[in-house]
């Protein structure tokens, strides 16, 4: 079995600011803006995950997503993917996006699809995506909601999808197997995508040897919890390991003591003695990779690749604690 740490939602290139964590702990991953003739359907005004209309939220925060404009107008359309919040849309919506049978969906294409669908090292049904992204807290400042200016934010796990079915949309025969209820999805609609793949979730989560009764095969962590935070948020440790990485690859230490969101703190078991069996993209037997990993008596630390989207970890090389971590992340901090 494999897990895939998959980066999705707003980032520095698409969106330009973090996804929000509200005062009551709710958190919502913001879908990236898009401007493609075949994806001009869903807008921020159409989506209301956890009862929060995204168009109204952006207006309240005074934020305009960074992304492709339509003429000279700001972006309004979204790449609605992954689609995991079951309440993003009402049951009877104009997009037919919540028909009977609906469940979580995720699509990918181009190089990322090549990584995930590699015959030797790729994924298959039963493997689990853990989606993470860039988040920051919303605070009240003089009666106005704003992002916490004392923080640049951090990487946070926000959702999951256990693969039930993999459909290669470039294949005409496989494309016909896409259920009617899933055909609203942008990776089905946008036929210009190359190496285009759609992942359909399982109805129920299954982990061999673990009790997953009552858990869906997809969902979101609806409330923030530090145990689902990837970034090391202790400034001293963050800077210590980040600067050790910089020196290890022949660069100067950072003159700034701000938290680097790409410096992660992970369970100690992530630090496999064989570097080639560690987290994908961070498992090459070379100096840069070795310089990106650290550990103490309690945790493993890693300078994560940036940019990077799909990081695969084969749990067959790890103890039962690895599956327990996956289950704890899903069950302790929110279920849907």
CB atoms within 10 A of CB 288: 14
Please report which helix (H) or strand (E) contains residue 287, including its range: helix 287-291
pLDDT digits (tens, 9 = 90+) for 267-296: 999 999 999 999 999 999 999 999 999 999
Q: What is d(CA 107, CA 236) in angstroms, rounded to the nearest whole number?
A: 38
φ, ψ of residue 268 to 5 degrees: the values are -60, -30
Judge whether 282 and 311 are in contact, CB under 8 Å: yes
Task: Decide if pLDDT at 63 tops 50.
Answer: yes
CA dist list (Å): 78 to 26, 38, 43, 106, 109? 21, 11, 6, 14, 17
* Helical segments of 106-155, H only: 110-116
Judge whether 303 and 245 are in contact, CB under 8 Å: yes
Half-sphere exposure of 28 (CA within 13 A, CB side): 23
pLDDT digits (tens, 9 = 90+) for 9-50: 999 999 999 999 999 999 999 999 998 889 999 999 999 999
Task: Decide if pLDDT at 335 tops 50.
Answer: no
Rounded mean pLDDT, 258-268: 97
Q: Give the CA radius of gyration of the chain.
A: 20
> Which are the contacts of 280, defined by CB distance < 8 A and separation ≥ 6?
4, 115, 121, 310, 311, 312, 313
For the whole model, what pTM was predicted? 0.96
Residues of the chain with pLDDT > 90: what percent? 90
Q: What is d(CA 188, CA 198) in angstroms, rounded to the nearest whole number?
A: 8
* Helical segments of 28-83, H only: 54-61
Q: What is d(CA 230, CA 315) in angstroms, rounded to the nearest whole number?
A: 18
Q: Where are the domains of the chain?
A: 2-226, 231-303
CB atoms within 10 A of CB 176: 8
pLDDT at residue 72, rounded to an integer: 75
Helix (H, G, I), strand (E, B) or coil at 329: helix
Written as six digits, the tokens of 167 are 């459909």
pLDDT band at 74 (very low <50, low <70, confident <90, very high): confident
Task: Decide if pLDDT at 336 tops 50.
Answer: no
- In the block, residue with structure tokens 């935070």: 229
pLDDT band at 57 (very low <50, low <70, confident <90, very high): very high
Q: What is the DSSP letter of 328?
A: H
Q: What is d(CA 187, CA 1) in angstroms, rounded to the nearest whole number?
A: 25
Task: Decide if pLDDT at 158 tops 90.
Answer: yes
Task: Decide if pLDDT at 299 tops 60.
Answer: yes
């Amino acid at each position: 079995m494999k897990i895939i740490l998959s980066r999705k939602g707003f980032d520095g290139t698409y969106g330009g600011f973090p996804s929000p964590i509200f005062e009551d702990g709710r958190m919502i991953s913001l879908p990236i803006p898009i401007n493609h003739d075949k994806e001009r359907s869903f807008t921020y005004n159409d989506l209301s995950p956890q009862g929060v209309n995204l168009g109204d939220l952006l207006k309240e925060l005074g934020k305009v997503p960074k992304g492709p404009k339509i003429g000279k107008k700001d972006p309004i359309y979204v790449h609605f993917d992954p689609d995991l919040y079951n309440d993003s849309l009402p049951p009877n919506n104009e997009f037919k996006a919540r028909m009977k049978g609906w469940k979580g969906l995720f699509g990918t294409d181009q190089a990322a699809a090549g990584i995930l669908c590699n015959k030797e090292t790729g994924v298959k049904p039963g493997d689990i995506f853990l989606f993470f992204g860039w988040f920051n807290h919303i605070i009240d400042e003089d009666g106005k909601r704003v992002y916490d200016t004392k923080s640049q934010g951090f990487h946070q796990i926000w959702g999951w999808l256990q693969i039930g079915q993999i459909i290669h949309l470039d294949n005409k025969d496989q494309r016909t197997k896409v259920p009617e209820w899933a055909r609203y999805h942008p990776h089905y609609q946008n036929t210009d995508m190359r190496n285009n793949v759609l992942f359909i979730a399982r109805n129920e989560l299954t982990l061999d040897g673990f009790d997953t009764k009552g858990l869906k095969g997809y969902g979101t962590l609806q409330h923030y919890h530090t145990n689902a935070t990837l970034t090391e948020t202790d400034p001293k440790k963050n800077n210590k390991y980040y600067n050790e990485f910089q020196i290890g690859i022949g660069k100067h230490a950072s003159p700034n003591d701000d938290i680097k969101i790409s410096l992660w703190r992970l369970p100690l078991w992530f630090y496999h003695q064989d570097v080639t069996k560690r987290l994908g993209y961070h498992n090459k037997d070379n100096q840069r990779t070795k310089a990106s990993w650290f550990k103490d008596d309690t945790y493993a630390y890693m300078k994560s690749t940036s940019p990077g989207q799909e990081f695969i970890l084969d749990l067959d090389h790890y103890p039962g604690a690895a599956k327990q971590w996956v289950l704890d992340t899903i069950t302790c901090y929110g279920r849907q």
